[in-house]
Amino acid sequence: MLFLANRANLDRRRLLTRLHNRLGTQVDGDEPIQQVWYHTTASDKTGVRATVDPDRFLDTEYRCDEAELQVSFDFPRDADHDYYRIQWVERDRDLLVGWHQDETHPDLGPCHFQLDYDGETVQRTGAAYLDVHPLNVFDRRTDDLVDVLDALTWDDGRPEVNSDARR
């Protein structure tokens, strides 16, 4: 058993293995997770991805049949905080919704919410910076994801999420 309560002992490989195993235990006919795999480069794991049944994940009828949960974490030595991307991707609708805590868009703070549709970013705003254990970040953001997808509206064929749900 791997114990990750101390962030100082974390590395990306261990954390991604832990997330992969956690999501993998939910691959079952009654669970929302259908398949789990590592996203890799030629030499390393860079993230965990899971195929999701949206109706089961959201516990309601949803507008697409399949989505992908994409999760990556990094712990750059020269950064003041952990980096992550936790995002929901619907390939059929060319929709991406998620949080990025990284070095991009410093004008929005260390973390931002992003909504991409049809190959372009249609919404990007600052989001709550979470300085907690990465597994807690994952839990919180996946809970937030349910609220965000519930709040997703379409105006003239473009998606939008209201500020209350974006966190």
What are the extents of the domains in the chain?
7-166
Give residue 77's pLDDT. Answer: 85
The pTM is what? 0.89
C-alpha to C-alpha distances, 145 to 75, 94, 107, 117, nearest whole angstrom = 23, 17, 23, 16
- Name which of 42, 41, 60, 38 is nearest 50 in CA terms: 38
| Strands, E assignment, the chain | 33-40, 45-52, 67-74, 83-90, 95-101, 111-117, 120-126, 152-155, 158-161
State residue 9's pLDDT score.
56
pLDDT of residue 30: 80
Q: Greatest CA span in the chain, whole angstroms?
A: 50
Inform me whether the pLDDT recorded for 106 exceeds 50.
yes
Judge contact between 84 and 72, C-beta under 8 A: yes
- Whether 45 shows a pLDDT value over 50: the answer reads yes
**Does 52 have pLDDT greater than 90?**
yes
Confidence at 6, pLDDT banded by 50, 70, 90: very low
- Mean per-residue pLDDT over the chain, rounded: 89
